Amino acid sequence: MYCFSLVRCHIRLIAPVTLKPSLRYSTGNTQTLRFLRRNHVKGVVLSRPVIPLPVQRCAIHTTPKREAGLPVILIALWKPIAKFVAVVMGRGIRQWWGTLPTHQKGTVWDHFRRNKYRYFTGIGTFTAAFGVFYVSNLRETPITKRKRFLPFTNYQYHKIVEYEYSTILQTYDGKFLPVTHPAYSRVLRVANRLVKSNGDIKEMSDKQWTVAVVQDETVNAFVLPTGHIFVLTGLLDKVGASDEQLGFILGHEMAHSLLSHGAETVLQDYFLQAVVIVFMCFLWALMPNDGIAQVSDWFSNKIVDIFLEKPRSRMLEEEADFVGMHLAAKACFDVRESSMFFEMVHLTKKIKDEEELPVYLSTHPADDARASNLNSLVPQFLQLRDQCGCARLQTADPRQQLAPLRSLVEEKERKRARTT
């Protein structure tokens, strides 16, 4: 298992390379945000950078070529246009078939029977071509080495993300904390540790990371595929003074970016919708009227959401937890605290009698199951932490700090059992 310290040793043996600032920062004021929107995509260095983080590189990179792939405009417009076409075609076929005389309906069926082998050949050819296209666009994730279908490139997906990025900047305009704020310095420090210690991961060192802290009570943090880290102060209040928990949470969010989960989700959504749209076309053609077709369409969409999309989302969250633990361990954070945030949220809900969303309706694993899964990973990543030469941890397990909350929940459940 390679740690960043080993990579530094390796770099000394090769030709010197120019250090590249990997983490750049905005001051949070409106003028800088406008500058960021205008120039980020072009790769222009932000004005007034704060403590650029050097990440050593093992090779000299020139400006990357734009890779071939699906046109961005096609990716953006495919879903709404295809749905509209499916409904129009389905209704058109239903109306055409309904007005067709009986003897002509028989003629249509005879035509299909006579030419069935041609249709089967066409379907088979299309299936084989798609199979080749699918296999040729399988790409491997870093760290977990999972293969997934990604037919468009990072450049294409980043072009799609640009609009979302501009929208976020406009939404939080006036709420960004300045770089002199302690909360900003804290997030910056934790992000620096993660980026520095994982510089041997190509996807980590290739990104232009930026940090923004937003004054907002929502408990949330997220990282865009382009490397923009957004942390809301509500999350900082929730984790308290623990940089260890914050380190894992940022590692988890950065993992989504490193693994290109956003691009994977968008692509799978589009191809899943392609199948659903074909089904929708048949549905609108076969149903006797528009009302029944609409209800059937809504029901089929719910089935797809519950049994395909949400399970896939939970799987990606678990993968990001695994990679987040990996990043945090190499950055010498105490990975034993990785589960504490989710267990604390679960116990707090129990104490307040708050109802939790059923797992099958959620895009994330249940908090208690998530904490249990992270606890099962702790021995593996404590070993990785030791291999990276990190300082020894204190003997006391920080997870014991939640013992009073656990006792309170157990007592409450005992009282509830006695009353029932």
**Structure tokens, 54:** 């050097």
- 336 and 382 Cβ atoms separated by less than 8 Å: yes
The rounded distance, in Å, linking the Cα atoms of 153 and 224 is 16
Residues constituting the chain = 420
Q: Which long-range contacts (CB under 8 A, 24 or more apart) does 63-68 make?
A: 64/155, 66/153, 66/155, 67/153, 67/155, 67/156, 68/153
What is the distance in angstroms between the CA of the first residue and the CA of the last residue of the chain? 53
- Other CB atoms within 10 Å distance of the CB of residue 420: 5
Token readout for 292 is 């029944």
Q: Which residue in this structure is represented by tokens 């030419």?
A: 115
Pairing of strands 147-149, 20-21: unpaired
Contact partners, residue 66, CB within 8 Å, separation at least 6: 153, 155
| Residue 295 vs residues 89, 204, 306: alpha-carbon distances, Å | 18, 46, 17
| Helix (H) / strand (E) containing 175 | none
Active site residue 317: no
Catalytic pick among 244, 253, 337, 343: 253
3-state secondary structure of 92: helix
And the tokens for 386? Answer: 């030791």
Q: How far apart (Å, rounded) are the C-alpha atoms in residues 13 and 31?
A: 43
DSSP state of 144: T
Measure the CA–CA gap between 148 and 260, rounded to whole angstroms.
Answer: 10
CA angle 297, 86, 107 (to 5 degrees): 105
Instruction: Name the residues annotated as catalytic.
Output: 253
